[in-house]
Chain A
């Protein structure tokens, strides 16, 4: 089982849409896939029309008092299950901190996911925007961290900070893969960064998810792009990102 996190410290950069669309594509490719919506706002949960409720909430889940299995929900798409968000996830940092030993605490999500390793080939983690104990857990659990970057200088700086932070993981950190999100080709800065940054920075792909209304309509259709606009430019961009991810995961398998 491989774990992929969609992560950025900033919010509103396209983490959830990336997680939802890539999980959908993974399932369509025949991988047994789980998407865990860790964001208490529950956007991914909403997009799959699942109720944002987990019995026992965050405390029981991360406390190990309730197994993950009963909380899992099938989506409307074959091979794709969802572990929904719950509003109590807003306290997940505190719940994790209560686990005690700091070293163990950052591996809590990894341990929980280990129980599902026979059931799924791929797990996607849709993370809340922050640098917190939850995100630290996510970064420890992930094999690959996908980082949506809005093509701006500040976003680039945030990516660098993340790479620097992951450099402290003593060699077993995840593979970081940045990609451009909400790219607007009418803006010269966007065009310039998309053209130059991948060559200058390791771990940043030239793939750019365009800022198109068809992506915003995911919330109207409450479905991944592939379900209602499979041939749109945005869907094709996610296809390209999925192809890159497959290669990254294959490399990751070879390395391990």
Chain B
């Protein structure tokens, strides 16, 4: 079927009024007659996840009237709604139907929420040949952003060729493009609205440069992490989806790691003063995150049971949810406490002061070379000391050092040659994956034992549930053994000559 052509029009708003639209299309009237069709007004709420997952997949999800509408590379999909939806909403809270099926993979576990609300006025225009036959359909559309900011009306003109009349469509396009105010476009209304509202572009954080004083570089990176904590705070408190807490924790971990590795360049004993405070934040968030992780994987775990039935784990799931509700209350109390507010405010003020008054005698380049080398040495030392008989604590210690190396590499990434950086990160990630699998197995086993103990004490679970949990336990232990086996091979690769020389090549 013929494909539509989109044009932007830079003329003034017409509100779809007949005279104004016809004036806009006046260039066509030499050869064609124009017949105006209906004028339609519709309000739309465009939705996406906080990290633009739908947009990155080329999907445009909107709530229009009493329907969810999905556009993208596929045929448009619509799902009628029987009740007004509330936002944010995770995929399981969307109305079942083709739209939900179309966004499920892209949304993953994240919630969608309104990004832009708009009002669109559309006027249909039929382009008629000398027989009065419609040969091209035109949609004259004016979209006005209403929230979060009000935009000017954005006019787009969509030419829809009709089968057998492509020649006329080409001619109409040529004539309009030759007339004043029309330019070709390939974006969506959503993209146009985002651009007009100044949204949708990831704002790059302040970049570290090689000649920056070292304290300014470290404070700049830490301020970026503080921004990430702030960005994810409301979503965590409101429990929009579990990734807000995850991202908040990652920012806290990065903060703590950088304080440990390079906090000594900061003035006023900042690292010494704030490290325990961020440890408190980390500890505050851990119980909720552990339960989130368990609950996110519970369906898959239930399906994996071979002796027990998936439903055997239902009481376990209920226990986890009850526990999660308790832990979430504690988490929210903590994140809304004066202690937390003061921590974040004080931290931001202190970092801003450092950035404004940086006086470190060494540069970011010197610091990067020194600290990457230092952390890498510690990683290699730990890795070389691991043997098949090493206790689990030694493996965990290696994992922590690897995370430190990862974080310090990410902080100083702007100073590293991109190709070498990618190769080093690949080496490191391969080792981290195996270390992660090993530790996950151990943490999950230990947690499962604790949960079983708690349940026995409080919930009196059925025997089938405890047996099913036992089956899970054996799976975790088996996976841990497999990861331990894989670790030996991963260490041999990591400790080979290539990795170290790549890291040396990375140092600025």
Contacts and interface: CB of A to CB of B under 8 A. Distances in A.
Interface residues of A, number: 12
Contact of A51 (B131, B134, B162): B131
A74 B126 CA distance: 13
Contact of A81 (B131, B134, B163): B163
A148 to B, nearest CB: 27
Contacts of B165: 73-74
B163 A73 contact: yes
Interface string A209-221: 0000000000000
A72 B132 contact: no
B419 interface: no
Interface residues of B, number: 9
B388 interface: no
B134 A76 contact: yes
B133 A50 contact: yes
A210 B164 CA distance: 35
Contacts of A72: 163-164
B189 to A, nearest CB: 22
A222 interface: yes
Nearest to B133: A49
Nearest to B2: A74
Q: Is the interface of B mostly helix, strand, loop or mixed?
A: loop
Contacts of A74: 162-165
A72 B164 CA distance: 6
A223 to B, nearest CB: 10
Interface string A64-90: 000000111110100001000000000
A76 B163 contact: no
Nearest to A82: B164
A100 to B, nearest CB: 31
B163 A222 contact: no
Interface string A182-213: 00000000000000000000000000000000
Nearest to B35: A76
Contacts of B131: 49-51, 222
Interface in B405-451: none
Interface in B28-80: none
Name, among A70, A74, A81, A222, the residue most crowded by chain B CB atoms within 10 Å (CB to CB): A74
Residue of A70, A76, A81 most packed against chain B (CB within 10 A): A76
Nearest to A77: B134
Interface in B80-137: 126, 131-134
Contacts of A50: 131, 133, 164
A76 B164 contact: no
Contact of B132 (A51, A81, A222): A222
The interface centre, meaning the residue of A48, A49, A72 with most chain B CB atoms within 10 A of its CB, is A49
Nearest to A81: B163
Contacts of A76: 126, 133-134
B3 to A, nearest CB: 14
Nearest to A73: B164
B45 to A, nearest CB: 27
A70 B133 CA distance: 18
Contacts of B164: 50, 70-74
Q: Taking each of B132, B134, B163, B164, which has the highest tally of chain A beta carbons within 10 Å of its own beta carbon?
A: B164
A222 B131 CA distance: 10
Interface of B: 126, 131-134, 162-165
7 contacts: A48-B133, A50-B164, A72-B164, A73-B162, A74-B163, A76-B126, A222-B132
Given A74-B165, A76-B126, 19 more contacts: A48-B133, A49-B132, A49-B133, A50-B131, A50-B133, A50-B164, A51-B131, A71-B164, A72-B163, A72-B164, A73-B163, A73-B164, A73-B165, A74-B163, A74-B164, A76-B133, A81-B163, A222-B131, A222-B132
Sort A-B residue pairs by CB-CB distance and give the 7 closest, nearest first: A73-B164, A49-B133, A74-B162, A74-B163, A76-B134, A49-B131, A72-B163
